[in-house]
Structure 1
Amino acid sequence: MELFLEHKSKTKYKTIVTGDFNNTPYSYIYRMIKGDDLKDTFEAAGNGFGRTYDFKFFPMRIDFILADEDFTVNGFKTFDVKLSDHYPIKTTLSLE
């Protein structure tokens, strides 16, 4: 996370961050990566629990697509397809 944040602070480009954070949206890692300048595309356009990890006791969302505030989030989908222990996610973004 620290290496990522260092790199992010040096870029002038609009940013999209995707990945398996192995942390929930309530974690320190998530909050630090998201910061104040990225938006969680699930929060913007998703619905339900947003389960991305196959944990049998309760739904867990540990995979994220975060986008620069300048992007418009047009959609978000979690696919209920068993390809691994994670469920695929997709967002649709536009940039004016």
Structure 2
Amino acid sequence: MPRVMFTISYSIKPDQRSSYLALIAEGKSHLINVGKKNYSVFEVKGKKNNFVEVYVFANEEEYDALDEGQDEKTRELLSKLESCVDDQGMKYLTTIEV
């Protein structure tokens, strides 16, 4: 079965950078250690405050279970993270390995 890559890209409010970095560090640790996700966060080179979150799933079934597998802490962190995002919002992209 092909792997699935799910990305979320967004810009954050400049005045929220320190809060965002603390939240994303906590969220990354939680998703990797507790949620057992293949998850990374990148800042776009040359574009300060522009970030891309990347999830890689072993197959479509694992991807489909992403929302169902969120615990209370994950939902809380995501809610706080969304408050750091600027007015352009989040852009989502799902790709399938060929």
Question: Taking structure 2 as the reference length, what is the TM-score of the superposition?
Answer: 0.29
Name whichever structure is richer in helix by fraction. 2
Larger relative contact order (CA 8 Å, sep ≥ 6) = 2
Question: Taking structure 1 as the reference length, what is the TM-score of the superposition?
Answer: 0.29
